[in-house]
Amino acid sequence: MKNVLIYALILWGSVGFVSAQNTEVSGHIISDAKAPVVGATIRIKGSTRGVISDANGDFTLKGNREDTLQISAIGFVPTEIGVLPGKRMIITLKDKQQDLSEVVVVGFGSQKKLAVTGAISSVGTKELTQSPVANLSNALAGRLPGLTTLQTSGEPGYDGAQLWIRGMATFSGSQSPLILVDGVERSFGSIDANEVATVSILKDAASTAVYGVRGANGVVLVTTRRGTEGRSSITATVQEGIQMPTRLPEYLDSYDGLSLYRTALMNDGKNSAMYTDEYLNKFRDRSKPSYQYLYPNVNWLKEMIRPSASMMQANINVSGGTNSVRHFVSLSYLRQMVCTTLRIRLKIMICRPVLLAIIFARTLTWISINT
């Protein structure tokens, strides 16, 4: 009799476990506007079991009390919710409207992304500061669709990139886009990335129409950072890196170069009598100390160019203010060495630029201090 009771208890627990595993879970998925969400994916977290909501937003699947449902749909924020066996669940998905409410700088001010009809692309401070470059134009490479950048030199102070928006629009005159910094036409390469709020490029005729023929090659709009309401916050960043050439050309030495020059003279039927074998061998012979001056064989690329050069950037800015007065002060320092061994170029920029934003009675006045 005792064994019969034990078997009965085991059988009852097994049935209960199986029934818990096969509990039917049902629900209804709606949006913020109370409309059914069709085609939403409902999946048991940590498993491959899942279903798709029907035309009425309803779904049914098997699960247990410990399961967690993962619900996702195009245009909605994914969410997770615990299972409620025996009850019809009502799940509300939030619309993804963050991107549409983002403010985009346009030619005549700023608009929400939802209202923008022209071809405009933007990049913010976070993306710009990820690239430790001395010139801000090089930080735009690969970050804005439709923008082509070409850096033709690595010399400090002259290492800015050429910009083309949707290729070369004109083949005579200037091919560079119109660049405006806070509405003023000027270069932006020397501005520290920590001082920039957004960089926007206007690419098509609809967005550049306000600039007329000046916007034929596109427009680059640079907006610097402003003070924010609240307690003053201090942000400091320091970056240090090493610059080196990606590839250097290999040149012939004096002996090989003069040998080929003699061969070229002979092929052209010109006089090559002075370039005898005895004369050419002296460029390799170092038996006499005077030969290194009379017959030099110097690799000037190796003598003049170092393998690498250091670069350091530092920035500290203070931002804050009240409802009536706001301030943003930025102090930047850049030290960029060159790879040549004859000269070291030290480029120090203090307060470049220091922008002090003051708002009185919600009237914005900008004071720019450049040193």
Q: How do residues 106-133 score in pLDDT, each as one tens digit?
A: 555 555 543 455 677 888 888 888 877 8
Residues 176 and 260 placed together within one structural domain of the fold: no
The answer to whether residue 263 scores a pLDDT higher than 90 is yes
337 found inside a domain: yes
318 found inside a domain: yes
Q: What is the mean pLDDT of residues 152-162?
A: 80
DSSP secondary structure of 284-346: T--SSTTHHHHS----HHHHHB-S-EEEEEEEEEEEEE-SS-EEEEEEEEEEE--SBSS----
Domain at 70, CATH number: 2.60.40.4130
191 found inside a domain: yes
Residues 107 and 40 placed together within one structural domain of the fold: no
Give the pLDDT confidence score for residue 17 in this predicted structure: 41
25 found inside a domain: yes
Residue at a domain's end among 52, 68, 93: 93
Residues 182 and 217 placed together within one structural domain of the fold: yes
Torsions phi, psi for 67 (to 5 deg): -75, 160
365 found inside a domain: yes
Residues 193 and 139 placed together within one structural domain of the fold: yes
Residues 292 and 197 placed together within one structural domain of the fold: no
Residues 107 and 215 placed together within one structural domain of the fold: yes
Higher-pLDDT residue of 191 and 18 is 191
195 found inside a domain: yes
Q: What is the mean pLDDT of residues 191-214?
A: 84
* C-beta separation of 223 from 105 below 8 A: yes
* C-beta separation of 322 from 228 below 8 A: no
98 found inside a domain: no
Q: What is the domain extent for residue 280?
A: 254-298
Residues 363 and 236 placed together within one structural domain of the fold: yes
Residues 238 and 220 placed together within one structural domain of the fold: no
Residue at a domain's end among 63, 93, 123: 93
Q: What is the mean pLDDT of residues 64-91?
A: 84
How many domains would you assign to the chain?
4
Residues 220 and 236 placed together within one structural domain of the fold: no
Residues 9 and 68 placed together within one structural domain of the fold: yes
Q: Going by C-beta distance under 8 Å and a sequence separation of 6 or more, which residues neighbour residue 296?
A: 254, 283
Q: What is the mean pLDDT of residues 76-92?
A: 85
Residues 119 and 208 placed together within one structural domain of the fold: yes
354 found inside a domain: yes
Domain at 219, CATH number: 2.170.130.10
Residues 193 and 269 placed together within one structural domain of the fold: no
Among 95-99, 150-154, 302-306, where is mean pLDDT lowest? 95-99
Please work out, in degrees rounded to the nearest 5, the angle formed at the alpha carbon of residue 321 by the alpha carbons of 316 and 323.
155
pTM of the shown model: 0.54
